[in-house]
Amino acid sequence: MNELDRWVAAAGAELGVSPGDVPVTSVLDVARDVAHNVLRPGAPVTAYLMGLAVGRGLDPAEAAARISGLALAWPNAEPKAEPDVEPKKEPKAEPDVDPDAAQSPPKAE
């Protein structure tokens, strides 16, 4: 049993829901579709909305399919943010100078 399974079992027990009644993969797939195609904060809210709809009698698979379809067709998808990383700059070439020669005066012959 992985950590997610343990969490679902514990949260389900707290709420009186059998872990077998939780379509974890479907919920995660829908959350991914919403987070990537609409906006990230929409994922948990959508999961809650799906839970309400399923609690009112909508088939879980139908709810997942309808919401994923809506998210994948969403026209105003949040633009993908660019990472806050500056482009890597190439190091400047150092002149071919002998560091010892630059620090000591020339030798008299």
User: What DSSP string runs through 89-105?
Assistant: PPPPPPP---HHHHHSP
Number of domains in the chain: 1
**Rounded Cα–Cα distance for residues 6 and 8 (Å):** 6
Would you say residue 71 lies in a domain? yes
Identify whether 9 is part of a domain. no
For residue 44, being part of any structural domain is answered with yes
Residue 26 inside a domain? The answer is yes
Give domain status of residue 84, yes or no: no
Q: Tell me if 68 sits within 8 A of 45, measured CB to CB.
A: no
Taking the CA atoms of 44, 48, 54 and 57 in sequence, report the sign of the dihedral they define. Answer: negative
Number of helices and strands (H, E) in the chain? 5, 0
7 found inside a domain? no
pLDDT for 8:
96
Please tell me the predicted confidence (pLDDT) of residue 83.
Answer: 46
Q: pTM of this prediction?
A: 0.66
For residue 47, what are the contacts with CB-CB under 8 A and spacing of at least 6?
Answer: 27, 30, 31
Q: What is the mean pLDDT of each run of 10 residues along the chain (109 residues)?
A: 95 95 95 96 96 96 96 77 52 58 59
Asked if residue 107 belongs to a domain, the reply is: no
Q: Quote the pLDDT of residue 96.
A: 62
Domain that holds residue 58: 22-78
Asked if residue 91 belongs to a domain, the reply is no
